[in-house]
Amino acid sequence: MPKPRKALVSLDSTPYYHCVSRCVRRAFLCGIDQLTGRSFEHRRGWIEERLLTLPRAFAIDICAYAVMHNHTHVVLHIDTDRAANWSQRDVIEHWHALFNGTLLSQRFLNDDPLSKSELFLIHELVACWRERLQSVSWFMRCLNETIARKANEEDGCTGRFWEGRFKCQALLDEAALAACMAYVDLNPIRAGMAETPESSEYTSIQRRIRSASNKTAAQKNIRSTQPAALQLFVGYPREPMPKGLPFRLEDYLELVDWTGRIIRDDKRGAIPSSLPPILDRLNLEPKAWLDMTRSFENRFCSLVG
C-alpha cells in the first residue's frame, strides 16, 4: 500500500525530495496527440512558469525539473530555516501570494486594530500556514491544481487530470541527490525528445547551461552565471558551508554531459578513462552510476541513499 506523506517526508533525515506527477487521461499532458493531431505543447510552458514562480511564496527551492509529455519531474529542497525566520507578517504575505487568506488575516495586513482573541487566532493561522509553506504536499498541490484547472477548461471537461497521488522519493545523501538530478535532467534524452542537454526544452539543465554560457553575466558576478529561479551550486562541503547544492556547477554539467553521451542508444556505450571528478568524490563506480541514472524511479521505492 502507498505510504502516507508524513511517513515519507522527514526533515530530520533530509531536506531533498524527488516528486513525479503523471497525467491520468489518455490525452497528453503536453506534446501532440497522435490520434487527433492536436498539440498540447504550450502546456509545458504553463507548468514551467508555475513551477518557477511557487518558490517565491514557499520556503522550498527547485533543484531540478523536467516537463515531459505525460508527467513531470521535480527535485525539491525544503528550507526550514527560511520558514522559521519569517515574521508573522511575512508568513501571511507569502500565503496571500497563493490564496486569499481570511478576513482576519487581511485585517492584520491592513494594520486594523485586533482584539486579544483575534490576535490569538492570527497566531494559530500563522503557525498552520508556516508549516504548509514548507510542505512538499502543499507545494505539489499548488502546482498541479492550477494546471489541472487550466487544462480542463481548455479541454471543456471535468474530472481528474493528474493521478490521485504524486510519487515522492526522499534523497538521503549526496550520491542520491546527484543521481536523481541527473536522472531528471536527462529524461528528455532518454525519451528521444532531445539530442543534447542544452536542447532539452523545459528542463532545469537547459536553463543552467544557458545561464552558464552568459559571458556578460559571468564578468559581472559569478552568481549571475546560475539562474535565480533554481537552487545554486555552492561547491563541495566546507566550513562554513553556504546554502545550496553541495557540488561545483562545472563538475555537475560535465557529469550530465558525460552521462548523456553514454546512455544514447546510438552510441556503443564505452566508458572513457577520464571520469568527471564528482564520481570520484562520491565514491561511485561508473557502471553503478549509469545504472542508477537509467532507472532511478524503478530501482528505488521511497528512500534513496
Q: Report how far residue 122's alpha carbon sits from residue 105's, in angstroms, rounded to the nearest whole number.
A: 7
SS3 state of residue 44: helix
What is the chain's pLDDT, residue by residue, as a tens digit (305 residues)?
A: 456 655 567 777 889 999 999 888 655 566 666 677 777 788 888 999 999 999 999 999 999 999 988 889 999 999 999 999 999 999 999 999 999 999 999 999 999 998 999 999 999 999 999 999 999 999 999 999 998 898 888 888 888 888 878 889 999 999 899 999 999 998 888 888 888 888 888 999 999 988 888 755 545 555 567 888 899 998 877 778 788 888 888 888 888 888 877 765 554 444 444 666 777 777 777 777 777 777 777 777 777 87
Please give the grid coordinates belonging to residue 161. Answer: 487530470
Alpha helical stretches, state H, 156-230: 174-185, 187-190, 204-212, 215-220
**Domain locations in the chain?**
13-80+137-294
Please give the grid coordinates belonging to residue 197. Answer: 542537454
Alpha helical stretches, state H, the chain: 5-8, 42-53, 80-85, 88-96, 103-109, 116-132, 136-155, 174-185, 187-190, 204-212, 215-220, 249-263, 277-281, 286-294, 296-299
Give me the half-sphere count of Cα atoms (radius 13 Å) on the Cβ side of residue 43: 30
Residue 190's nearest CA partner among 276, 266, 285, 286 is 266
Q: Fold for 13-80+137-294, please state it.
A: Alpha-Beta Plaits (3.30.70)
